[in-house]
Structure 1
Amino acid sequence: MTTLLTFPGQGAQRPGMLHALPAHPEVTRTLEEACDGLGQGLSELDSADALRSTQAVQLSLLIAGVASARLLADAGCEPDMVLGLSIGAYPAAVAAGSLTFADALQLVRLRGALMQQAYPSGYGMSAVIGLSLAQVERLVAGQFREEEPVYVANINSAEQIVVAGHENGLARLAEAAVRDFHARKVHRIAISVPSHCMLLSGAASQMRVAFDRVTVSPPRCTYVSASSARALFQADAIRDDLAFNMARQVHWHDAATHARERGARLAIEALPGATLTSLCRPVFADGGEAVSLCQAPLATVLALHSRL
């Protein structure tokens, strides 16, 4: 049996998420390391006010992801594969042993700051539900303006496509999606930057420079990239994936399918997410399971791991 540990991206955050993590020695250790390494208290990261900052959101998701992985490992549930969406790739890399937690904290602090500085306001992301990729691509082409650009960002499933760009372009696209293409729903995601498109190419290049100052190691388990939807085994490939993923499209459905084809049978989503679990369930429907740590008791998750 092969276990895939998935790590959510921005949009999964909620106020108090770090304070709500399970009471466990590995969680406590993770929180203490984070506070010491960042020189910040938990309330400076996961309060409602703090989570208005892209940097605080990304740090909180990193910390929660690493705490989840350590909690599971302590209970004997080590992942055979890891897969993270956007910022989720960083705790995935830590869980795989490719990146130290201390280095990840500093890199993610920089990542969030670069993204926030590049687009402090007026940009974001919207999820389009009920349309195909081809239909969303037509919408994007019709609503694109040089001064108010929009781009296809995340291909999460056959009928869930995320678009990034200027808020005016997103508003026009949402209206056209429902009016002209009869989308079931279009909603803004709790992300204030235009991730996973060329708008963040400059910030990604700066991240790549920062990676020259840290050690990235070959993974202990299979690291699956949500950008390329392929397993990566070389340190340099993982370094490139982490540095540039903010500016590259997410191919979540293809990445989860690749993990399934490589033998994954149980997909466990790290705290505090549940969306990736809903996206993984159709992929794992035939003889597999997808479960979220925030929806199922730890004992249930461990029983599934033991049984499958």
Structure 2
Amino acid sequence: MSTLLTFPGQGAQRPGMLHALPDHPSVHETLTQTSEALGRDVLSMDDAASLTSTVSVQLCLLAAGVATARALLAEGGRPDAVAGLSIGAFAAAVIAGVIAYDDAARLVALRGRLMEEAYPQGYGMTAILGLERGPLEAILALVHGEASPVYLANLNAPTQLVIAGTHDAMARVSALALAAGAHAAKPVAIAVPSHCPLLDDAATKLARAFDGIALHRPRLRVFSASAARELRDPVRIAADLAHNMAMPVRWHETLLLARACEMRLAVEMPPGNVLTRLGKLVLPEAVACADMRMDSVLVLMHRESRGAA
């Protein structure tokens, strides 16, 4: 009986997300550390205008995840494992002790810039709801081409999938998916085509930036949402962090792995609850810090710790 901390990716952001974090010393210290590492005030990056930037979104998600997890740890929370979706993997690696937070903040800033520079406009991501992988892949094969790239990017649940590519190509896939029985096709608040080969070059550049970064063996179990497996080697974790922007997200498989590894409680870091809704499909219990008081979350975590003892 164990606790898994989950860290969300882009699409979870919302204006004021950093200002809504718990009033806790660990939160204040993390936000200050973020600003010092970046040379700018991170609290100026969570307004609606700033969150149109991929760089700002990713840095705010990193800060929110690390700050909240640190607060839980400071109050005696004892997680057993971590998993992060896309940018959330960086926060997960920090909390697992694999990489220093200052290094993670600078790498995430670079990650966001590389993604923005690669595709400044005309690309994005769309959620396809109510259609399974096989039929969607058949539609993608009809639409995808050199002039109309579009890929399967996220496998969040059996019938909650996300595609990435050009706006025109995604619109064509969405229309065909709806005609094939999908319940909905919803644009995701992500301005770049993540988790597909379109970002291979950016991922290679980010991987080079890991040279010289100190890495450590994880103190917690690390479940990779790209590999859908547990990673123990810090070099392998770093490679996963660098390349996950260009690799499909296998979140549902990752949750199945967590359940097989006896994770019972999933606690989602702010600002949203999407991962919590997905977690409830697989794990015995899943909660979002954004929806609960910290003391209530800690009660659940302590209960799991006692059950595992």
Measured against the shorter chain, the TM-score band is: over 0.9
2:169 matched to which residue of 1? 169
2:30 matched to which residue of 1? 30
- Number of equivalences: 304
In structure 2, C-alpha distance between the alignment counterparts of 1:222 and 1:65, rounded to whole Å: 17
Q: C-alpha displacement at 1:299, in angstroms?
A: 2.0
State yes or no: 1:204 paired with 2:203: yes
Deviation larger for 136-145 or 182-191: 136-145
Aligned partner of 1:295 among 288, 291, 296: 291
Counterpart residue type for residue 278 of structure 2: L
SS of 1:46's equivalent? Answer: coil
2:301 matched to which residue of 1? 305
SS of 1:161's equivalent? Answer: strand
Contact 2:79–2:301 under 8 Å retained in 1: no
Contact 1:64–1:272 under 8 Å retained in 2: yes
Question: Per-residue displacement from partner, 1:182-239 (whole Å, max 9, x unpaired)?
Answer: 1101100000000000000000000110011311211001010000100000011101
1:256 matched to which residue of 2? 255
Contact 2:272–2:288 under 8 Å retained in 1: yes
1:95 matched to which residue of 2? 95
In structure 1, C-alpha distance between the alignment counterparts of 2:42 and 2:241, rounded to whole Å: 25
Aligned-CA RMSD value: 0.9
Structure 2 segments unaligned to the other structure (5+ residues): 305-309
Matches within 5 A, 1:158-307: 158-179=158-179, 181-284=180-283, 288-307=284-303
Contact 1:15–1:48 under 8 Å retained in 2: yes
In structure 1, C-alpha distance between the alignment counterparts of 2:133 and 2:33, rounded to whole Å: 42
In structure 2, C-alpha distance between the alignment counterparts of 1:211 and 1:127, rounded to whole Å: 31
Contact 1:7–1:273 under 8 Å retained in 2: no
In structure 2, C-alpha distance between the alignment counterparts of 1:8 and 1:103, rounded to whole Å: 20
In structure 1, C-alpha distance between the alignment counterparts of 2:9 and 2:251, rounded to whole Å: 11
SS of 1:86's equivalent? Answer: coil
In structure 1, C-alpha distance between the alignment counterparts of 2:53 and 2:202, rounded to whole Å: 17
2:54 matched to which residue of 1? 54
Q: C-alpha displacement at 1:43, in angstroms?
A: 4.3
Contact 2:226–2:247 under 8 Å retained in 1: yes
Q: TM-score, normalised by structure 2?
A: 0.97
In structure 1, C-alpha distance between the alignment counterparts of 2:95 and 2:259, rounded to whole Å: 19
Q: C-alpha displacement at 1:307, in angstroms?
A: 2.2
In structure 1, C-alpha distance between the alignment counterparts of 2:215 and 2:49, rounded to whole Å: 33
In structure 2, C-alpha distance between the alignment counterparts of 1:134 and 1:75, rounded to whole Å: 45
1:42 matched to which residue of 2? 42
In structure 2, C-alpha distance between the alignment counterparts of 1:281 and 1:216, rounded to whole Å: 33
Contact 2:156–2:278 under 8 Å retained in 1: yes
Counterpart residue type for residue 88 of structure 1: G
Contact 1:19–1:42 under 8 Å retained in 2: no
Question: Per-residue displacement from partner, 1:160-181 (whole Å, max 9, x unpaired)?
Answer: 01000001001111111112x1
In structure 2, C-alpha distance between the alignment counterparts of 1:20 and 1:295, rounded to whole Å: 12
Identity %: 48
Q: C-alpha displacement at 1:78, in angstroms?
A: 2.7
In structure 1, C-alpha distance between the alignment counterparts of 2:79 and 2:236, rounded to whole Å: 20
Contact 1:43–1:50 under 8 Å retained in 2: no
In structure 2, C-alpha distance between the alignment counterparts of 1:95 and 1:302, rounded to whole Å: 17
SS of 1:294's equivalent? Answer: helix
In structure 2, C-alpha distance between the alignment counterparts of 1:147 and 1:200, rounded to whole Å: 16
Deviation larger for 37-46 or 8-17: 37-46
Moved segments of 4+, more than 3 Å: none
Q: C-alpha displacement at 1:45, in angstroms?
A: 1.4
1:109 matched to which residue of 2? 109
SS of 1:163's equivalent? Answer: strand
